[in-house]
Amino acid sequence: MNDEGKGDIGGGGGSRQPVHRPVLLSEVMAALSLREGLVVVDGTVGAGGHARAIVQAIGPDGVLVGLDRDSEILAAARAQLSTPAGDGRAGARVSLHHLPFSDMREALRAAGHDRCDRVLLDLGVSSLQLDRPERGFSFMADGPLDMRMDTSQPTTAADWLARAGEVELADTIFRYGEERHSRRIARHLVAARRRTPIVRTGQLARLVVEALPAPARQGRIHPATRTFQALRIRVNDELGELERGLEAARDCLRPGGRLCVLTFHSLEDRIVKHYLRAHFEVVTRKPTEPSPDEVRANPRARSAKLRCGVRREEAA
């Protein structure tokens, strides 16, 4: 989900205050094709970047049901959505829930609805997570190796890394990080943790760099980026959650309703593309990507892809 500059896998700005820039905002709004009175689920509400625009578009007769796994971010969304838009227009009723988007049925029922008209899923990592070293998502500033999107969950990245076998670790880094040197990295990490536990982001980043051959340390992205992505996806079961969430969206949408998904790496995009082709009328034959101007203004948007589909009519 990039509501607020999501999409940068391991980067971040240390202790800087994040600038909240909803990625592809105008394109998302066009794909959602909103009108007054709709019931909309924002399954990854973040700090409310897209949600704020949705609330204004669906008006006082509309309902926005927002979900997020991160309770801290949900508090930021609540504050953002309670602030007047400044144009005098009344916004929709807002119902926010500390839940993963795969539980959108539960959130809808709690808001008094069985079905919805639109679903938005923004799968990037929020700046509110990346830019806080204590959350452990970024190697740009040292912090505890946490990476949990929901801090009420018991297993941190450090916990998982401490007990994963070498083969499991290598497979995870290869599958979720698409890292060609996954075996070398896994071997080096297992040897290193015998000496001392790996519990800090800076420590993990240094070990990954040490494991790589010299040519692999040079490149457009930091050499630890793919490994950080892999651990984050594994700790949060992001691809499993995405598959469950797509099923939930299909079940919750009325026929003719729209599902829009913003992805930030190829693993997510592939799942979304195939699911939409199988179960929806595809609106975006090719994914919508940010313009060069948007990428210059918000580099974390660079890998974003937007796909949209319309829920098919139910068989008689």
Residue 13, domain member (yes or no): no
Mean pLDDT of the chain: 90
Give the total residue count for the chain.
316
Give the chain's domain count: 2
Residue 203 has pLDDT above 70, yes or no: yes
In this structure, the answer to whether residues 139 and 229 fall within a common structural domain is: yes
Instruction: Kindly report, residue by residue over 27-64, the tens digit of the pLDDT.
Output: 999 999 999 999 999 999 987 889 999 999 999 999 99
Position 83, amino acid: T
Question: Which residue's structure tokens are 């990490």?
Answer: 189
What value does the mean pLDDT take over residues 218-227?
91
In this structure, the answer to whether residues 88 and 139 fall within a common structural domain is: no
Question: Which residue's structure tokens are 């008209």?
Answer: 117
In this structure, the answer to whether residues 196 and 213 fall within a common structural domain is: yes
Residue 20, domain member (yes or no): no
Residue 85's pLDDT is 61
In this structure, the answer to whether residues 152 and 100 fall within a common structural domain is: no
Predicted confidence band of residue 100 (pLDDT cuts 50, 70, 90)? very high
Residue 220's pLDDT is 81
In this structure, the answer to whether residues 160 and 87 fall within a common structural domain is: no
In this structure, the answer to whether residues 230 and 244 fall within a common structural domain is: no
Give me the percent of the chain exceeding a pLDDT of 70: 91
In this structure, the answer to whether residues 170 and 246 fall within a common structural domain is: no
DSSP 45-68: -TTSHHHHHHHHHH-TT-EEEEE-
Q: Which domain holds residue 230?
A: 135-236
Per DSSP, the three-state class of 35 is: coil
Per DSSP, the three-state class of 254 is: strand
Q: Domain boundary residue among 178, 208, 236? A: 236
Which CATH number covers residue 143? 1.10.150.170
Give me the percent of the chain exceeding a pLDDT of 90: 79
In this structure, the answer to whether residues 214 and 73 fall within a common structural domain is: no
Furthest C-alpha separation in the chain: 64
Residue 2, domain member (yes or no): no
In this structure, the answer to whether residues 120 and 207 fall within a common structural domain is: no
pTM: 0.90
Q: How far apart are CA 22 and CA 19, in angstroms?
A: 10
Residue 3, domain member (yes or no): no
Residue 76's pLDDT is 87
Q: How far apart are CA 316 and CA 305, in angstroms?
A: 34
Residue 261 has pLDDT above 70, yes or no: yes
What value does the mean pLDDT take over residues 280-303?
94
What value does the mean pLDDT take over residues 87-116?
90
Residue 1's pLDDT is 36
Residue 90 has pLDDT above 90, yes or no: no
Residue 180, domain member (yes or no): yes
Instruction: Kindly report, residue by residue over 13-34, the tens digit of the pLDDT.
Output: 333 334 457 899 999 999 999 9
Q: What's 156's DSSP letter?
A: -
Between 90 and 214, where is the model more confident?
Answer: 214
List CB contacts of 127: < 8 A, sequence separation 6 or more.
Answer: 4, 5, 6, 12, 13, 18, 19, 20, 300
What value does the mean pLDDT take over residues 173-190?
98
In this structure, the answer to whether residues 124 and 33 fall within a common structural domain is: yes
Residue 84's pLDDT is 63
Which CATH number covers residue 68? 3.40.50.150
Residue 83's pLDDT is 67
Cβ–Cβ under 8 Å, residues 22 and 49: yes
